[in-house]
């Protein structure tokens, strides 16, 4: 007796079809799962056995072999419970599936036959949807997420008994396509820039960072508002596009962070890992690779508070993903690539005590201590921040004033206008903002005059800048011009951009 049901597994963020085959034969009674199952898949035996019995079906007490094909990839998790149960019921003639109906079946089983939600539904279905796989049976709680897959019929299932009866009587109900219009712009601004008193320079820099998707480093004494500023950055970012939201949802689905009521990530991610984070937790990894913080920050913000407190090797692993926007994770079981196009926002004190360079306090640190502290941020890493700004302590009069700062809403309008120009300009390229420009395209899109070249040359020699710093200045200049709605980059844009690179000289001056 033989039964077969389709299911799906994951490699990185891509799914593939797994064929669940069941053979029931005479011989020594037993229930075995083959095809490189991990512990959770092996334990499916007990869940499937109980779920089938408790749903009022007959469970054969003979020899049962379950094969998960292809047999040479590792299978993990409880995703296959439902498919195994259906294949056994199919093999024993209790489930009759028509020849033209071969859905991808996903779901975990409870002992009473109830179907539980699983992770990774969206990436699995997106990769396997198509001509050969027009339908899928999905746990009810995962349906909202699954409905974002086009060209696929989605059948919700809540219990094994109901599902089998519906298939046998040909009365399976399809889930309705998402009726609710997705409104990504409906971000309630919880933390508004108007609460920040003073710090006009820092606000300007954050606006530029948001407008061009640039990386930003803030240096300042404790209590000057660095963290407060960073937390307000999401309130001025442009809304997600549908494509961006799907990309983020794929990653969040694998890590099991999807709200079943939404089924899709609607807000730009803001990830703020603590400085004790390990390198694997940051970039992703594990025996079976899982997305790390940088991938969870894809299309959003990665905020590293107290940058020098992070372990040095953890910071250095960031260098390559910042440049590439993808991370390639290689393990014995294979190599996978995950997207990680994020804005890196970092904040730090200028020295261990925090008051180096502050006019109101005495810095207690020795020159050596300061050097060691700042030395944790290597030159190549520092180079990758497009904007370096100083966030000085705020004086009392500004703090006590009743005057509110500019609201996030009005800053956001300027950001949106600048982004609009960029989207128009790069519509033939697969990029969305200035920070993503590759070096070949910089000369095309960031044209400068001879005079501006002179300015840059002088700055270049004075500040001893690298080639990377040069291209980053051009990108920031382009963003400044976009904020001013100017077609050409003007002298003042170049000069402002250079000014955001001068911190290296103030602090990292040895």
Partner 1 sequence: MNKREIGSRAEKLVLDYLLGKGMSLVAQNYISPYGEADIILMDGDEFAFVEVKARRSDKFGKPAEAVTKSKMKKYLLTAQYFFMNAGMEDYRVRFDVAEVYLTSGSPWVNYIQNAYDFSGIEEFY
Token couple for 334: 């294979």
Q: Which residue bears the tokens 């997106």? A: 126
Residue 67 or 369: which CB sits closer to partner 1? 67
Residue 60 or 325: which CB sits closer to partner 1? 60
For the bound state, the minimum distance from the C-beta of residue 75 to partner 1, rounded and expressed in Å, comes to 17
Indicate the Cα dihedral angle 160, 164, 170, 173, nearest 10°.
Answer: 0
Indicate the Cα dihedral angle 424, 428, 433, 438, nearest 10°.
Answer: -150
**What DSSP character marks residue 5?**
E
* Residue choice 31, 80, 500, 507 for contact with partner 1 (CB under 8 A): 31
Segment near partner 1 (CB under 8 A); pick from 21-29, 189-197, 241-249, 311-319? 21-29
For the bound state, the minimum distance from the C-beta of residue 88 to partner 1, rounded and expressed in Å, comes to 13
Residue 93 or 256: which CB sits closer to partner 1? 93
- How far is Cα of residue 476 from the mean position of the Cα atoms in its chain? 24
For the bound state, the minimum distance from the C-beta of residue 44 to partner 1, rounded and expressed in Å, comes to 11
For the bound state, the minimum distance from the C-beta of residue 63 to partner 1, rounded and expressed in Å, comes to 8
Segment near partner 1 (CB under 8 A); pick from 56-64, 96-104, 428-436, 440-448? 56-64
Whole-number Å distance between alpha carbons of 188 and 325: 28
Sequence-distant (6+) residues with CB within 8 A of 142 are: 106, 117, 118, 121, 260, 263
> Closest Cα partner for 306 from 235, 373, 206, 388?
373
Site size for partner 1, by CB under 8 A? 12
* Residue choice 34, 38, 61, 323 for contact with partner 1 (CB under 8 A): 61
* Angle in degrees, CA 144, 78, 282, rounded to 5: 75
The verdict on 62 binding partner 1 (CB under 8 A) reads yes
Residue 61 or 366: which CB sits closer to partner 1? 61
CA dihedral sign, ordered 80, 84, 85, 89:
positive
> Closest Cα partner for 226 from 308, 348, 310?
348
For the bound state, the minimum distance from the C-beta of residue 95 to partner 1, rounded and expressed in Å, comes to 22
Segment near partner 1 (CB under 8 A); pick from 58-66, 146-154, 385-393, 492-500? 58-66
Give, rounded to a whole angstrom, the gap between the first and last alpha carbons of the chain.
78
CB 40 within 8 A of CB 76: yes
For the bound state, the minimum distance from the C-beta of residue 76 to partner 1, rounded and expressed in Å, comes to 18
CB 4 within 8 A of CB 14: no
For the bound state, the minimum distance from the C-beta of residue 48 to partner 1, rounded and expressed in Å, comes to 11
The verdict on 42 binding partner 1 (CB under 8 A) reads yes
For the bound state, the minimum distance from the C-beta of residue 96 to partner 1, rounded and expressed in Å, comes to 24
Q: Which residue bears the tokens 């694998």? A: 254
For the bound state, the minimum distance from the C-beta of residue 41 to partner 1, rounded and expressed in Å, comes to 13
* Residue choice 11, 19, 50, 63 for contact with partner 1 (CB under 8 A): 63
Token couple for 478: 């382009």
* Residue choice 16, 32, 395, 453 for contact with partner 1 (CB under 8 A): 32
Whole-number Å distance between alpha carbons of 13 and 124: 8
Q: Using CB under 8 A, which residues numbered 90 to 129 contact partner 1? A: none
* Residue choice 4, 6, 45, 341 for contact with partner 1 (CB under 8 A): 45
Q: Which residue bears the tokens 């409104």? A: 183
The verdict on 26 binding partner 1 (CB under 8 A) reads yes
Give contact residues for partner 1 (rule: CB under 8 A): 26-32, 42, 45, 61-63
């Amino acid at each position: 007796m033989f039964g077969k049901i389709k299911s799906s597994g994951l490699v990185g963020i891509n799914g593939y079809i797994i064929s669940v085959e069941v053979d029931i034969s005479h011989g020594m009674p037993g229930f075995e799962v083959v095809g490189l199952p991990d512990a959770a898949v092996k334990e499916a035996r007990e869940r499937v056995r109980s779920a089938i019995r408790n749903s009022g079906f007959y469970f054969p007490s003979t020899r049962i072999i379950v094969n998960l094909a292809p047999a040479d990839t590792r299978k993990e998790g409880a995703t296959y419970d439902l498919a195994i149960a259906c294949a056994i019921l199919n093999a024993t003639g209790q489930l009759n599936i028509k020849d033209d109906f071969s859905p991808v079946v996903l779901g975990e089983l409870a002992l009473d036959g109830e179907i539980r939600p699983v992770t990774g539904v969206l990436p699995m279905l997106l990769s396997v949807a198509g001509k050969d796989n027009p339908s899928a049976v999905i746990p009810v709680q995962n349906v909202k997420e699954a409905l974002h897959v086009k060209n696929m019929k989605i059948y919700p299932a809540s219990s094994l008994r109901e599902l089998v009866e519906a298939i046998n009587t040909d009365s399976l109900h399809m889930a309705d396509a998402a009726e609710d219009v997705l409104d990504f712009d409906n971000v309630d601004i919880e933390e508004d820039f108007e609460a920040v008193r003073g710090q006009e320079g820092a606000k300007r820099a954050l606006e530029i960072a948001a407008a061009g998707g640039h990386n930003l480093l803030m240096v300042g004494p404790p209590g000057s508002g660095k963290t407060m500023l960073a937390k307000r950055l999401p309130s001025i970012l442009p809304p997600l596009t549908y494509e961006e939201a799907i990309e983020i949802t794929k990653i969040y689905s694998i890590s099991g962070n999807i709200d079943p009521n939404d089924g899709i990530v609607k807000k730009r991610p803001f990830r703020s890992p603590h400085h004790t984070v390990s390198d694997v937790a940051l970039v992703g990894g594990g025996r079976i690779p899982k997305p790390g913080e940088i991938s969870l920050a894809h299309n959003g913000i990665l905020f590293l508070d107290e940058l020098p407190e992070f372990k040095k090797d953890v910071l250095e692993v960031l260098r390559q993903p910042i440049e590439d926007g993808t991370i390639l994770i290689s393990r014995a079981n294979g190599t996978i690539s995950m997207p990680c196009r994020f804005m890196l926002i970092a904040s730090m004190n200028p020295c261990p005590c925090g008051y180096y360079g502050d006019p109101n306090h005495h810095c207690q640190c020795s020159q050596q201590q300061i050097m060691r502290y700042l030395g944790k941020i290597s030159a190549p890493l520092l180079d990758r921040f497009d904007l370096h700004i100083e966030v000085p302590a705020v004086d009392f009069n500004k703090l006590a004033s009743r005057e509110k700062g500019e609201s996030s809403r009005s800053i956001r309008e300027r950001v949106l206008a600048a982004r609009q120009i960029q989207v128009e300009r790069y519509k033939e390229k697969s990029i969305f903002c200035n920070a993503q420009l590759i070096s070949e395209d910089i000369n095309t899109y960031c044209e400068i005059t001879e005079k501006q070249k002179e300015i840059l040359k002088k700055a270049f020699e004075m500040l001893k800048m690298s080639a990377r710093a040069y291209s980053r200045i051009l990108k920031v200049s382009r963003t400044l011009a976009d904020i001013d709605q100017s077609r050409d980059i003007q002298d003042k844009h170049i000069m402002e951009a250079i000014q955001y690179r001068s911190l290296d000289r103030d602090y990292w001056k040895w």
